[in-house]
């Protein structure tokens, strides 16, 4: 019998001072049985960074032809394509042809360093790709906030995110490895 996804509920109160985006979101996140808490929290952070009414979680690990998140325009075109981890550059190239903007949120300090040094030339040629990295210690701190039901306040100013629940606060700063041109 196949394992079922764990359903997480997240109420986010986002104050992104750099983008002047202030809004509350009620999200339902399906955590695939093989998905770690680190990856779930990175998906949640990616949502906050790009927050928009049309941004939505996809099937993620359970399908190869969809990203982790995407934002669709009313006419069906893909405005934002969001990947996590260190995917094959061919996947990123394909995403860049399908979407107006592609964001890659990397994690795993050593893995990202090796991946980026191996694929830097290939990914730098993708003009609509932005690559952001979260450091392991910050992602580990963020993972401490995982609960089946989360109420999080996320405030961003000058590239630094402060994420707070009722019990604790953690700070995250995403390293920009590549910014779209």
Domain region containing 109? 6-178
Is residue 1 in a domain?
no
Contact 162, 154 (CB under 8 A): yes
Q: What is the pTM of this model?
A: 0.94
What was the pLDDT predicted at 94?
95
- CATH code of residue 123: 3.10.640.10
Q: 3-class secondary structure for 52-78?
A: CCCEEECCHHHCCCCCCEEEECCCCCE
Average pLDDT over all residues of the chain: 94
Is residue 96 in a domain?
yes
What was the pLDDT predicted at 60?
61
- Residues 6 or more apart from 120 whose CB is under 8 A from it? none
């Amino acid at each position: 019998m196949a394992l079922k996804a764990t359903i997480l509920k997240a109420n986010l109160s986002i104050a992104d001072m750099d983008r002047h985006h202030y809004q509350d979101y009620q999200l339902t996140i399906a955590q695939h049985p093989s998905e770690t808490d680190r990856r779930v929290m990175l998906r949640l952070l990616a949502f906050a960074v790009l927050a928009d009414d049309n941004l939505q979680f996809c099937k993620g690990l359970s399908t190869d032809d969809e990203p982790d998140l995407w934002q669709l325009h009313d006419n069906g075109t893909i405005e934002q394509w969001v990947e996590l981890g260190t995917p094959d550059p061919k996947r990123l190239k394909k995403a860049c042809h399908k979407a107006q903007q592609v964001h890659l949120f990397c994690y795993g300090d050593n893995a990202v360093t090796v991946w980026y040094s191996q694929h830097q030339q290939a990914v730098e040629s993708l003009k609509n790709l932005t690559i952001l990295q979260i450091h392991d210690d910050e992602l580990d701190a963020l993972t401490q906030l995982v609960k089946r039901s989360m109420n999080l306040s996320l405030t961003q100013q000058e590239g630094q995110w402060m994420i707070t629940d009722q019990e604790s606060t953690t700070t995250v700063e995403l390293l920009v490895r590549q910014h779209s041109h």
